[in-house]
Amino acid sequence: YWLAPKPSNRQIAVIDVKERKITKLIPTDDDKVKVAAGMTRFVVYSGKGTISRWNFSKLEREVTLPYPK
């Protein structure tokens, strides 16, 4: 997978590189997000102070927590 933030739409596109298509559009609550990914999960940091962990296999959010500033 490849994660492509789309700040103007407040979304993150999850792209299946092998299939060459967008698998899911994940809504975000801010246009200033950062993403980091591992083999099975990825995290999304919102500029509004939250961090969410997502599962690649189900493309579901597992948990969202406030991020200490």
**What pLDDT, on the 0 to 100 scale, is given for residue 35?**
96
The reported pTM is 0.86
Q: Among candidates 37, 69, 31, 36, which has minimal Cα distance to 50?
A: 69
Give 50's contacts (C-beta < 8 A, 6+ positions apart).
29, 64, 65, 66, 67
Nearest-angstrom CA–CA distance, 32 and 23: 22
**What pLDDT, on the 0 to 100 scale, is given for residue 67?**
87
> From first to last of its 69 residues, what are the pLDDT tens digits of the chain?
999 999 999 999 999 999 999 999 999 988 899 999 999 999 999 988 999 999 999 999 999 999 886
